[in-house]
Amino acid sequence: MRRVAITGVGAICALGRTVSEFRTSLCMGRPGIGRIESTDCSGLRFQQGAEVGGYSHEPYFDDRRADFIDRFAQFAVIAAREAVTGAGIEWTPELRETAAIITGSCVGGQSTEDIGFHEVYKLGHGRVHPLTIPKTMANAGASHISMEFGITGPSFTISTACSSAAHAIGQAFQMIRHGLTDLAITGGSEAPFSFGILKAWEAMRVVSNETCRPFSKDRRGMILGEGAAMLVLEPLEMAQARGAHIHAELVGFGMSSDACHITQPSAEGAARAMRAALRDAALKPEQIGYINAHGTATLVNDVTEIAAIRSVFGSHAERLAVSSTKSMHGHALGAAGALECLAAALALRDGVLPPTANFTEVDPECDLDVVPNRARHAQVEFALSNSFAFGGLNAVLALRRASSQ
Amino acid sequence: MSDELIERVLKVIAASKRIPREQVTIDSEFPQLGIDSMDAVEILFALENEFDISIPDDDVRNVRNVRQMVEGVEKLVAAKSAGTAAG
């Protein structure tokens, strides 16, 4: 088995349009949550979201190319460009033919679909734009990344709701580890701010009408987010041989299914995924120093996740730092696992643990060290990134700080 | 609380949860009826349709039984007719 290095990182979300901006916001504990601007939310019970403020395709795509790409897939390409550029990949015909692209997305281009269906159902128009299908499909992110770089190797998309990107990264990790490919671009992207989708979230009554306060006693639910994060993965030895900068190592991947309820999480399912990731990485619970939690700030998730962490880590749970960066970048659904894996990798790389922002009051049922409000300097060797989806499909990634080069 | 309003709420709960109407009483607790959080959200949706009201999230956070649900609906229905009368 080969060790797996993260050699490229890219991000665009409410916290910034580059990894550097993303990192600065995380370290300052500065949330990107505000009034939703891209959609008129006056008919909704909530008005707050974590958008890429003032986004336009113009600096990134010419108008004709943008016509073909929904916002969620534009984000995927923008993040992939930054990751590939930063990794300093030198493309050869062989590399293009074998490189893999694995992306995650939950709702895909449903915003495009929403517009088309509005035309048909509401406006009574007899036709829908012919690009509705290719813009809506959840794999459009992977497809546009492949066209951007001329990559002709294995490329596909995983859709497991809020775990999509974590499952995608885990799959790419396993392909590199087992020698199926020497380079993978992987992550997730999402852009769920269209009225129909927001109405559906409203009906579930899990979205906060103020802000996102994970683990806080007065939490009121999640805040939806959008964006993308992409990673470039390579075998560690090959990355070292070419002198690539290594941000962090991926060392384990654990999956589980709750087999329990379509929306309510199970502590046992979450715990099994964390145990599986530790086992896969050959780590003892005591070796983990930081967990980037799923931490949605719904009443049920946070209590369940903390119970799961306690059951896996026992007394070591009291010494763990556990934070939810969703408090800043919102819940970006199919991109969440990628933004959060990146946040964990940066925490290891830079020795700064991102906080749980908007924290006001300890909930006795979530009583662990949640790094409230202020980032913390700490050299951590190993971290986990938790993703637990509706439908009970869980994915946990284990990361290691890169050894000094 | 009017008997008619109570009856309509109980009917909605029974229909939404797909349980016999006789099983639902004003004194039922949600766990007794097997109503979990997702079931409750569906019932709220059905009540909004039945009474043409909008039920705020903050009003439902601590609702644990049928009586609280009926009281909540009664309050919103009253507010709605007051608004109509005034407006």
Q: Is A205 in contact with B57 (Cβ distance < 8 A)?
A: yes
Using an 8 Å CB-CB cutoff, list chain A residues near B57.
Answer: 45, 205, 209, 220-221
Contact across the interface for A263 and B45, Cβ inside 8 Å: no
Residues A170 and A152: their CA atoms lie apart, in Å, by 21
Domain covering A4-241, topology? Peroxisomal Thiolase; Chain A, domain 1 (3.40.47)
- A89, two tokens: 């990949």
Of A45, A14, A54, nearest to A30 (Cα)? Answer: A14
Q: How far is B34 from chain A (nearest CA, A)?
A: 13
| A203 contacts on B by Cβ (under 8 Å) | 41, 45
Pairwise CA distance, residues A159 & A168, whole Å = 9
Q: Is B58 on the interface with A (CB under 8 A)?
A: yes
* DSSP-assigned letters across all residues of A132-170: HHHHHSTTHHHHHHHHHHT--S-EEEE--GGGHHHHHHH
How far is it, in rounded angstroms, from Cα A306 to Cα A366? 6
Sequence-separated (6 or more) residues with CB below 8 Å from residue B75? none
State yes or no: is A178 an active-site residue: no
Q: Delineate the domains of chain B, giving CATH numbers in brackets.
A: 3-86 (1.10.1200.10)
- Would you call A120 an interface residue with chain B, using a CB distance cutoff of 8 Å? no
What residues in A contact B56, CB-CB < 8 Å?
Answer: 45
Residue with tokens 């012919």: A130
Indicate if A253-401 has the same CATH topology as A4-241.
yes
Asked if A247 and A9 count as a contact pair (C-beta separation under 8 A), the reply is: yes
Structure tokens, A8:
């490229």
Name every residue whose Cβ is closer than 8 Å to that of residue A362 and which is 6 or more positions away in sequence. A216, A217
d(CA A158, CA A189): 11
CA A86 – CA A342 distance, rounded (Å)? 14
Active site residue A129: no
Contact between residue A387 and residue A405 where contact means Cβ atoms under 8 Å apart: no
pLDDT tens, per residue, chain A with 405 residues:
999 999 999 999 999 999 999 999 999 999 999 999 999 999 899 999 999 999 999 999 999 999 999 999 999 999 999 999 999 999 999 999 999 999 999 999 999 999 999 999 999 998 999 999 999 999 999 999 999 999 999 999 999 999 999 999 999 999 999 999 999 999 999 999 999 999 999 999 999 999 999 999 999 999 999 999 999 999 999 999 999 999 999 999 999 999 999 999 999 999 999 999 999 999 999 999 999 999 999 999 999 999 999 999 999 999 999 999 999 999 999 999 999 999 999 999 999 999 999 999 999 999 999 999 999 999 999 999 999 999 999 999 999 999 864
CA distance B10 to chain A (A): 21
Q: How far is A294 from chain B (nearest CA, A)?
A: 20
Domain coordinates in residue numbering, chain A: 4-241, 253-401
* Placement of tokens 């199970």 in the chain: A266
Residue of B nearest to A206 (CA): B57
Q: Which residues of A touch B60 (CB under 8 A)?
A: 205
| B37 to A263: CB separation less than 8 angstroms, yes or no | yes
pLDDT of residue B59: 86
pTM: 0.95
Q: Which of B3, B36, B39, B58 is catalytic?
A: B36
CATH no., domain A253-401: 3.40.47.10
Per-residue confidence (pLDDT) for residue B83, from 0 to 100: 83
Nearest-by-CA chain A residue for B46: A203
Structure confidence at residue B3 as a pLDDT band (50, 70, 90): very high
ipTM over 0.95: no
Chain A contact for B57 (CB, 8 A cutoff): yes
Question: What residues contact residue A346 under an 8 Å CB cut-off, 6+ apart?
Answer: A9, A19, A22, A23, A26, A247, A352, A354
Q: DSSP string covering A245-261, please?
A: ---EEEEEEEEEE--S-
Predicted local confidence at residue B58, as pLDDT: 87
Q: Which of residues 36-55 of B touch A (CB under 8 A)?
A: 36-38, 41, 44-45, 54
Report the pLDDT value the prediction gives residue B34, as an integer from 0 to 100. Answer: 95
Window 253-282 of A: residues touching B by CB (8 A cutoff) are 261-264
Contacts of B61 in chain A (CB under 8 A): 299
CB A110 within 8 A of CB A71: no
pLDDT at B1: 79
Distance CA A227, CA A118 (A): 24
